[in-house]
Amino acid sequence: MNTNLGRTHTKISAIGLLLLTNGLVQAQDQSADYTEPYQQHALQIFRTSIAYRTTASHGEVPALANYLADQFRAGGFADEDIHVLPLTLPDGAETAALVVRYRGDGSSGRKPILLLAHMDVVEAIAQDWQSDPFTLIEEDGYFFGRGTYDDKFGTTTLTATFLRLKAEGFQPTRDLIIAFDGDEETQFTTARTLVTTYRDLTDAEFALNADTGGGVLDEYGNPIFYRIQTTEKTYATFELTTRDPGGHSARPGDDNAIYELAHALQKIEAFRFPVRSNEVTLRYFELTANVRSGELSEAMRHFAANPNDEKAADILHRYPFENSFARTTCVATMIRGGHAENALPRSATATVNCRIFPGVAVTEVQATLERIVENDQLQVQVLGDPEESLTSPLREDVIAAVTKAVHARFPNLPIVPFMTAGGTVGQPVRAAGIPTYGIMGLFMRDEDDFSHGLNERVPVRSFYGALEFWHLLLIELAGQ
């Protein structure tokens, strides 16, 4: 981890001119009708993909994988380069991965580039939405539907770009490999399998993850910066369980498993994990401070200069998004307990989800939770086998290609490295030794991010802009 951070610092210095570009840029309008054949084909793929209910409980990931495989076959890709890989998850659910190889001529002498996205989505309850979440709706300049952002935006734009390049007769100088996984929102089993069991299909020099990164617009729709994700927090979930003898509810006493658990959760709520930083997060705060305002801008600037500045850290703590870059966070997300309405509870269990700063061990966080609850009778158990997140060193070729693709739409826009608080398939891919960079063609306002929530949406203009972004980027990285 320390070696990676040192290499990151070196790369940042080498490409400083690209990352120091500042200034707001007015959004450039693109064709308003989007009638080009590749645009219409991409829209059809998007619409059809949204209609597949690829949630964990509905099992339609294999159907989507086969639909996309048919698109690649129809687009001229050979059967031997298209792999639909059925997978059974640890909980018994059936899913699938899709791997497609765009063969190059080998003239670059370099290993392939791996392109990542995921086909599964979180559940959406139709009656809670303003429209059917599994029907693509265009309204008021947005596409609405579950997965429009996370992450059928990624699977669609990558698929459409491969098909467009193939139709144009593009011959890469190295192989390009699409790898779409099927359980990113739940277990990451597919991604781990793709880079271990199926490593012969996915081995690459580096990976580009179309599930994170991307451009940020201000409240008026003007682009303010573009983010490249180079690291992410470790995803770990714990269960906290209290147990008591129970008894009749008519005779309550001092022992109550639900109350004991509630007291423990209150202590976790009030606890702040220590401030952490690395080269990527400090660089993110330094550059992003220039496009924020007020106390947040000042706090980011001071924190970047001195991460031991307690006043700056206190201000960042008031802003959940920025605070997530400055420390480990843990939050209660589910609770269950009791066995009858007229009986004292014999047990109560809470699920606590943690996003752990890179370099901090899961066991260290578990020990911290055990210490702060101050209850020897409360059991803290980690669920699954979480892997520690790594940091990928910035690469000049990736930064240069992304900068060219971004600046083709928005000249002089700042390019900013950053860390995500949420988990992505980049984590297991990095852990398998493939440096991974989160980049999307999506530009969106923070207030329009409804991924995992109601009425998920993306701007129509950003969808078509992403097609141009990936087209230029792949030509730049794998063209003559």
DSSP letters for 161-213: HHHHHHHTT---SS-EEEEEES-TTTT-HHHHHHTTTTHHHH--SEEEETTS-
pLDDT at residue number 188: 87
Q: In this predicted model, what pLDDT tens digit does every residue of 403-444 receive, in sequence order?
A: 999 999 999 999 998 898 878 999 999 999 999 999 999 999
Higher-pLDDT residue of 284 and 82 is: 82
Going from N- to C-terminal start, the domains of the chain cover 2-232+389-478, 234-383
- Reading the block at residue 240, the tokens are 């906290």
Q: In this predicted model, what pLDDT tens digit does every residue of 98-130 receive, in sequence order?
A: 999 999 999 999 999 999 999 999 999 899 999
pLDDT at residue number 24: 38
3-state secondary structure of 111: coil
pLDDT at 270 over 80: yes
- What's the CATH class of domain 234-383? alpha beta
Beta bridge partners of 419: 231
CATH architecture of 2-232+389-478: 3-Layer(aba) Sandwich (3.40)
- Reading the block at residue 106, the tokens are 């080998």
- Evaluate whether 71 touches 166 at the Cβ level (below 8 Å): no
Give the position of tokens 């693109």.
Answer: 30
Q: In this predicted model, what pLDDT tens digit does every residue of 51-73 receive, in sequence order?
A: 999 999 898 999 999 999 999 99
pLDDT-based confidence at residue 1 (cuts at 50, 70, 90): very low
pLDDT at 5 over 80: no
pLDDT at 26 over 60: no
Closest CA to 12 of 212, 286, 276, 216: 286
pLDDT-based confidence at residue 449 (cuts at 50, 70, 90): confident
pLDDT at residue number 448: 82
Closest CA to 409 of 443, 359, 358: 443
Q: In this predicted model, what pLDDT tens digit does every residue of 220-250 receive, in sequence order?
A: 889 999 999 999 999 899 999 999 999 889 9
pLDDT at residue number 2: 28
Alpha-carbon span 316 to 131, nearest angstrom: 36
Q: In this predicted model, what pLDDT tens digit does every residue of 451-476 receive, in sequence order?
A: 888 899 999 999 999 999 999 999 99
Alpha-carbon span 285 to 325, nearest angstrom: 9
Closest CA to 145 of 122, 177, 162: 122
- Evaluate whether 303 touches 309 at the Cβ level (below 8 Å): yes
Alpha-carbon span 265 to 349, nearest angstrom: 11
Buried b (16+ CB within 10 A) or exposed e, 350-386: bebebbbbbbbebeebbebbbeebebeebebebeeeb
Alpha-carbon span 204 to 231, nearest angstrom: 18
Closest CA to 69 of 94, 96, 90: 96
pLDDT-based confidence at residue 32 (cuts at 50, 70, 90): low
pLDDT at 16 over 90: no
pLDDT-based confidence at residue 389 (cuts at 50, 70, 90): confident
pLDDT at 19 over 70: no
Q: Average pLDDT, whole number, for the chain?
A: 91
pLDDT-based confidence at residue 11 (cuts at 50, 70, 90): very low
pLDDT at residue number 219: 85
pLDDT at residue number 321: 87
325 residue type, one letter: F
Q: What percent of the chain has pLDDT over 90?
A: 77
Query: Following DSSP, what letter does each residue of 292-342 receive, concatenated?
Result: --HHHHHHHHHHHH-TT-HHHHHHHHTSHHHHTTTB-EEEEEEEEE-S-TT
pLDDT at residue number 41: 98
